[in-house]
Amino acid sequence: MSEPLFGLMMDYPLTVTQIMRHAERVYPNGEIVSVTADNPNHRCTYSEMFARARKLANVLDALGVKRGDRVATLAWNDYRHMELYYAIQCSGFVCHTINPRLFPDQVEYIVNHAEDQYIFVDKLVFPLIEKLAPVFETVKGIVVLTDEANMPDTALDNVHCYETLLADASDVFDWPELDEREACALCYTSGTTGHPKGVLYSHRSTVIHAFGANGGESIGFRNHDSVLPVVPMFHVNAWAVPYCTLMVGSKLVFPGPKMGDGETLANLINAEKVTIALGVPTVWLGLLKHLQDSGKTVETLERTVVGGSACPIAIMDAFREQYGVETIHAWGMTEMSPLGTINLPPRGFEELSPEQQSALRAKQGRPAFGVEMKIVDDDGNELPWDGVAFGRLKVRGPWICSAYYKRNDTDAHDADGWFDTGDVATMDTMGVMQITDRAKDVIKSGGEWISSIDLENVAMSHPDVAEAAVIGVPHEKWAERPLLVIVPKPGKSPTAGDILKHFEGKIANWWMPDDVQFVDELPHTATGKISKLNLRKQFADYKLPSTAA
């Protein structure tokens, strides 16, 4: 019997504390610019931010927070949220980020399920928490992220002012040594059915994910980058921006509560010389509209990273052709920290025809190293990577959740440890993945599947269309057929015939939507994605012309 020979390398813990120590030592003058409810132009350095994080750690200690306790944040992207990320996580507590746009009953469930001890809340979100305070079961106090002059009036006991707490605290703090497997952050996914489910990130998974996201064939932040994360810090750790940027000393530009405001984003990009911005497609629709209306440009912006839902090709084309900005399409999910795939142009991309380039750009990209993927049919048999076969996408790897927090009633993981993403996808011969749908959004017509994302892409390339969504509606003969729902651009009123003509030659005939309906706006989820669930509810009584009695 031969014995394994173990390596002789250091067992160096992969913790968020190490990212902090590195950033403070190597990049003390790293810049952080924030828009907040109480200051439209706050500026500080990494070193000032970490000094305040140490004060905050003393405050948390004095409040009696214990190792492993959950501390909730309901906050926008700004320097205070960064302080919370680092002070909570490096103290050995769990930073539980909550989306302020969730319905109150979801916030109630999440806070009680997580057993949060304290809630740190943005001044603008305080009214929501104030109303819910009586139903929270474990919360000992609420801290409002502002100064004394801006504190809201409240009849609640145990409401503190963040700046006052910090002012009285020492900025000397000995960070504890942590086990890399300890939890550092918690984020609930707002599933469309049932209660939200908690994903509990560890220090180790967070650091490995940040290495993965910071690689050359990945998002790859650079020291010279000025980074605008429009992806919220309350949703999947802002795609690791708070960690990756600090590893390399990039400048951070935080839009605070102005995330959805195209004008603020354009002004920040130009004033702070932003080189890379990250967000969901709807955010970029707002920015592009503002640029088109105002005639402004975004000269310094080199790249946008777009994910969260399929990025319409029309957005990528507008960024590239009109503003010289490359769009990098990425796919991931809360359960994956979130990075799964990223679509950087492969070798030989320049030689492809414009049509081939466009088709490739629409895909979600190749898996980052660290994410193992497979597609399977309904019986769990693996399907070929030929770009044609599509099936349920399963993943595994060191930054993918192995179970949901305090839940054993889900069947997302199989016996071999693969996690079922709930997405349906193809994989091509070059390892490039393309999502065709969420499994529950896929349209099944006569036993064959129609991709709603492909149809939405064609609709979005029509010049009069601002936003488009496709849902399946019941059909007697085919079981389901696609219905296209359109928001026209302001001042435009295309007909159904105009829109459908635009589809001719671009899709198989049997994929042609059976009808087009026009609406003023589409329902969105709390994270800015089109809510197909609510759209289906909205059209629950709708009958296709061919099936209407």
Amino acid identity, position 50: F
Instruction: Pick the stretch among 112-120, 125-133, 316-324, 331-339 that binds ligand AMP (CB under 6 A).
Output: 331-339
- CB 391 within 8 Å of CB 181: no
Least distance CB 365 / ligand AMP (angstroms)? 8
From the list 333, 450, 468, 471, which residue makes contact with ligand AMP (rule: CB under 6 A)? 333
**310 part of the interface to ligand AMP, by CB under 6 A:** yes
**257 part of the interface to ligand AMP, by CB under 6 A:** no
Task: Name which of 413 and 438 has its Cβ closer to ligand AMP.
Answer: 438
Sheet containing strand 479-488, strands side by side: 465-475, 479-488, 515-518
Least distance CB 400 / ligand AMP (angstroms)? 12
Residues 6+ apart with CB under 8 A from 72: 96, 97, 98, 111, 114, 116, 118, 119, 120, 139
Instruction: Pick the stretch among 154-162, 173-181, 326-334, 384-392 that binds ligand AMP (CB under 6 A).
Output: 326-334
Alpha-carbon 274 to chain mean position: 20
**292 part of the interface to ligand AMP, by CB under 6 A:** no
Exposed, middle or buried by CB within 10 Å (0-12, 13-18, 19+), for 381?
A: exposed
* Dihedral Cα 71, 74, 80, 83, nearest 10 deg: 30
From the list 72, 169, 219, 435, which residue makes contact with ligand AMP (rule: CB under 6 A)? 435
DSSP state of 530: B
The H or E element containing residue 183 is: strand 183-189
- CB 233 within 8 Å of CB 220: no
Least distance CB 497 / ligand AMP (angstroms)? 29
Instruction: Pick the stretch among 83-91, 219-227, 288-296, 302-310 that binds ligand AMP (CB under 6 A).
Output: 302-310
**307 part of the interface to ligand AMP, by CB under 6 A:** yes
Return d(Cα 296, Cα 483) in angstroms, integer: 36
- CB 150 within 8 Å of CB 60: no
Residues 6+ apart with CB under 8 A from 258: 35, 264, 265
From the list 17, 334, 426, 452, which residue makes contact with ligand AMP (rule: CB under 6 A)? 334
Task: Name which of 65 and 238 has its Cβ closer to ligand AMP.
Answer: 238
Least distance CB 338 / ligand AMP (angstroms)? 6
Return d(Cα 479, Cα 350) in angstroms, integer: 43
- Which structure tokens are listed for 518? 């026009």
Which residues, 132 to 191, sit near ligand AMP by CB under 6 A?
189
Instruction: Pick the stretch among 167-175, 306-314, 403-411, 425-433 that binds ligand AMP (CB under 6 A).
Output: 306-314
Least distance CB 479 / ligand AMP (angstroms)? 23
Three-class secondary structure of residue 259 per DSSP:
coil
Three-class secondary structure of residue 226 per DSSP:
strand
Instruction: Pick the stretch among 225-233, 395-403, 415-423, 483-491 that binds ligand AMP (CB under 6 A).
Output: 415-423
Task: Name which of 286 and 308 has its Cβ closer to ligand AMP.
Answer: 308
Interface pattern 206-245 for ligand AMP (x via CB under 6 A): ------------------------------x---------
Task: Name which of 226 and 421 has its Cβ closer to ligand AMP.
Answer: 421
Least distance CB 436 / ligand AMP (angstroms)? 9
Return d(Cα 367, Cα 330) in angstroms, integer: 10
* Dihedral Cα 357, 262, 489, 445, nearest 10 deg: 50
**405 part of the interface to ligand AMP, by CB under 6 A:** no
Least distance CB 175 / ligand AMP (angstroms)? 30
From the list 338, 391, 482, 494, which residue makes contact with ligand AMP (rule: CB under 6 A)? 338
**117 part of the interface to ligand AMP, by CB under 6 A:** no
Residues with a known catalytic role: 189, 335, 444, 449
Instruction: Pick the stretch among 176-184, 241-249, 307-315, 319-327 that binds ligand AMP (CB under 6 A).
Output: 307-315
- CB 230 within 8 Å of CB 283: yes
- CB 36 within 8 Å of CB 124: no
**Angle, CA 464 vertex, CA 460 and CA 469 arms, to 5°:** 35
Least distance CB 299 / ligand AMP (angstroms)? 27
Q: Residues touching ligand AMP: how many (CB under 6 A)?
A: 20
- Which structure tokens are listed for 324? 């010289």
From the list 364, 436, 445, 451, which residue makes contact with ligand AMP (rule: CB under 6 A)? 364
Which residues, 493 to 532, sit near ligand AMP by CB under 6 A?
527
Task: Name which of 85 and 331 has its Cβ closer to ligand AMP.
Answer: 331
- CB 254 within 8 Å of CB 34: yes
- Cβ–Cβ contacts within 10 Å for residue 416, how many? 7
- Cβ–Cβ contacts within 10 Å for residue 493, how many? 9
Binding site for ligand AMP (CB under 6 A): 189, 236, 307-310, 329-334, 338, 364, 421-423, 435, 438, 527
